[in-house]
Structure 1
Amino acid sequence: MQLNRRNFLQQLGFGAAGLIVASSLPATGIMLPYKTGKLPRNLPETQGVMPGGLLDFVNTVESSKLNVHSLMVVRHGQVVAEGWWAPYAPQFKHTLYSLSKSFTSTAVGMAVAEKRLTVEDKVVKFFPNDVPATISANLAAMRVKDLLTMSTGHDKDTTPALRDATDTSWVKTFLAQPVDHEPGTHFIYNSGATYMLSAIVQKLTGQPILSYLKPRLFGPLGIEGEDWEVSPQGINTGGWGLRVRTEDIAKFGQLYLQKGVWNGKRLIDEAWINDATRFEVQSGGGGNRPKENNDWQQGYGYQFWRCRNDAYRGDGAFGQYCIVLPKEDAVIAMTSETADMGAILDAVWKHILPALRGTGDKGTQAALTKKLTTLAFAPPAMGSTSPMAAQISGKTFNLADNSLQAKSVTLTFGKDGCIFKLRDNRGDHQVTCGINRWTEGSTTFPTLPLRITNTLIPGENNTTVAGSGTWQDANTFVMMWRFIETAHYDTVTCKFDGNSVQVEFQKSLTKISTAKDQRPVLTGKVMA
């Protein structure tokens, strides 16, 4: 059974037209931007954008299986194309991974404007009680600017050391790491450096950067519901862990495109934006691509990457993008779970960039609109029923001892859905799945493997999930749980043999990387 996107969207309270090129908008006329929480919408051609190029981009990322979850293209301050691959939808936040760094940089820029610090300040001066007994010359020389430009002098990323720190604070652990090179001379991508920026802002302002940015950035941009992971010391992780919506990413990029002014009010100093987004240090990465075709070797600013085509971006692992194209007066926002971030950027330069320049395939508005209204990840759909469903429905399988401390599982089948319930040492957790269709809900099922160890979003007890299940054969029920406010999903396979069950978990990262799923296969028998 194929996903019926219109019905799915109606269940969520959205009409299909709310997710696409605003085809009902007038073809001409000036719209007043930024007076509400949403960016204004308009048709691509009214803003000089060729719809054919946008359509080619969508077709390319789909045919290449790049697993893009959402797309928004903004031209002259107007959203000219937008789409979410169901079950992802515009109202859901999305984990930004390292795109969070650009927001942390913004917090530092605002604190600089308030004269709380300068980029030339030495890092050790902020944490006199956390420095090692002997401060090396390189550590003593490390500046805030070196944190911003990923040129702290470390020979490797400090993040693993921070994650593994159990008895000491992350700040103290960072300052204890050897600084092998003179700061400012050696680029290494270092999320621990961004954490230190977050810690500095919190030290100076008395509040986490999430709270600090609320009245200064999120509020003025109409961003609501944002959250951010914290370290064990209650400091926002800075280098990862922020969640906002796709449109919020687009607004952030538009603010930078407008040199820090929003609704006639300056939020960020223009000088900071110029410094943050220019070439500050030579960056590295992007595999074996030659530099001219490598968007990771175009230079690095203050937690922003330079791009080909005189653009710049914030980006995060698995394809979270905020791309700003000043010459084209455009912003592109995307969320994804991809193993090939470079291929997404290649598709941007091949298809969206010419469309913004008014060249390439003109295409038709109707074809683009139709495509964007039907974007979806179809759930796995094999068998819709099995005689086994009636035999096991509602029965409790007691589980053998396991490292998850899971005690039992129960599957309860209805006409077109299933409730999977797992009991562990913390209580009951359940996920509701449609049969061969997505069903959206929330779960307390542990999703810690999706996040970096030791970091959590304060107060988050429920995770938004879209679930679907299908019968692979008469004795095998396969579920997909898409945690739609993250980049990831789980595949859960239940194999039945008489009164016995095996439950196997596979996280999506195992399909696009060398990551291993450490969760054991659960085995159990029906209670007597």
Structure 2
Amino acid sequence: MEAAIAAGAAPDTTSILIARDGRLVYERYFGSGGPDVLNDTRSATKSVTALLVGAAVDRKLIEGAQARVYGYFPDRHWAHRDPRKRRFTVQDLLTMSSQWECDDDNAFSAGNEERMYLAEDWTQFALDLPIKGYAPWMKRPEESPHGRAFAYCTAGSFLLGAMLERVSGQPLATFAREVLEAPLGIRESQWQRASEGVGMGGGGTRYRSRDLAKLGQLLLDRGRWNGRQVVSANWIHAMTTVHAQAREDADYGYLLWRFGFDVDGTQRDVWAMSGNGGNYVFAVPSERLVAVITRTRYNQRDMHAQSQRLMTDYILKALP
């Protein structure tokens, strides 16, 4: 694997860490990487936000996955006051299957994240989004696997972070530190904030590579760390249950990808935190394996495929 990286198979790789059975068995840094570097893992933040929502549910700050999103913003007025909006649930946002017209993969979408970044008030931007329509070639929710029409929408993850600030009465970074990072022994992180000052639950949080591995291990250990239940096992089970089909080759849990990687004719089911640049935290429950890959190859077409090949062609193939 190291020879392949040196030969250019995965440019801009900064670290690879592998843990097996809860023990770190491989750790290597490349280029600008290092053990104390806070990696900008972009949308891997979304999976952290899902963990934080679970912590809020555990503390009864949020009623549960079926809680109605708009009810947490009673002081706000919003455009496109379709009654269907009031039925949007936390689970709809966690599974990227709300019926907002929001698609980060479509530059024409009203909810495309690049439009949100230009807005003065990101919270209002999300609440104002219109209900989506369906062209004849598009699948409606009732026609889609698992009854959910998936569309990748950073605005939804951001709004979950805004909800967390409201129910906790704290900045998102403070809530994260108290309920997740401190219990895991994560001493340092950097959270981004929106234009209006709300914590950015949709991307850009920076963590050390070893701390990313802890987050992956938390998924494997059903929310426990060093004997302490940090997030309830029921919530981790829900996060790592398929709720939507994201693409032909990938399913989706709660802000978490599920891949079926073919390795020498055997399918390995892998859960993944994923972010722009080719950043990944892979968790393989059947093998008790966590693999962290950090890279800075942002906005390059081949970034994700390269990281996934490192996982399939080298890490998974090395398993007995």
Report if the CA contact (8 A) 2:80-2:130 is conserved: no
Q: Which residue in 2 is equivalent to 1:255? A: 218
Q: Which residue in 2 is equivalent to 1:349? A: 312
Report if the CA contact (8 A) 2:102-2:132 is conserved: no
Q: Which residue in 2 is equivalent to 1:58? A: 2
Q: Which residue in 2 is equivalent to 1:310? A: 269
- Per-residue deviation at 1:65? 4.2
Equivalent residue runs for 1:314-393 within 5 Å:
314-338=273-297, 339=300, 340=302, 341-356=304-319, 358=320
Equivalent residue runs for 1:18-417 within 5 Å:
57-63=1-7, 64-117=9-62, 118-132=64-78, 135-157=81-103, 158=111, 159-166=113-120, 169-180=121-132, 185-284=148-247, 291=248, 297-308=249-260, 309-338=268-297, 339=300, 340=302, 341-356=304-319, 358=320
Q: Which has the higher helix share?
A: 2
The letter for the 2-side match of 1:228 is W
C-alpha distance in structure 1 between counterparts of 2:10 and 2:225, whole Å: 36
Aligned residues: 288
- Per-residue deviation at 1:62? 3.1
| Structure 1: runs of 5+ lacking an equivalent | 1-56, 285-290, 292-296, 359-528
Report if the CA contact (8 A) 1:148-1:194 is conserved: yes
C-alpha distance in structure 2 between counterparts of 1:223 and 1:65, whole Å: 28
The letter for the 2-side match of 1:138 is R
C-alpha distance in structure 2 between counterparts of 1:133 and 1:283, whole Å: 28
**Once superposed, which parts of structure 1, at least 4 consecutive aligned residues long, lie more than 4 Å away?**
181-184
Q: Secondary structure at the match of 1:227?
A: coil
Equivalent residue runs for 1:380-459 within 5 Å:
none
Equivalent residue runs for 1:496-515 within 5 Å:
none
Higher RCO, 1 or 2 (CA under 8 Å, sep at least 6)?
2
C-alpha distance in structure 2 between counterparts of 1:278 and 1:62, whole Å: 37
C-alpha distance in structure 2 between counterparts of 1:142 and 1:87, whole Å: 42
- Per-residue deviation at 1:133? 5.7
Give percent identity, aligned residues only. 30
TM-score by length of 1: 0.53
Q: Deviations over 1:455-487 (max 9, x none)?
A: xxxxxxxxxxxxxxxxxxxxxxxxxxxxxxxxx
Report if the CA contact (8 A) 1:61-1:67 is conserved: no
Q: Secondary structure at the match of 1:232?
A: coil
C-alpha distance in structure 2 between counterparts of 1:131 and 1:190, whole Å: 21
- Per-residue deviation at 1:160? 2.7
Note the aligned Cα RMSD (angstroms).
Answer: 1.7
C-alpha distance in structure 2 between counterparts of 1:328 and 1:216, whole Å: 28
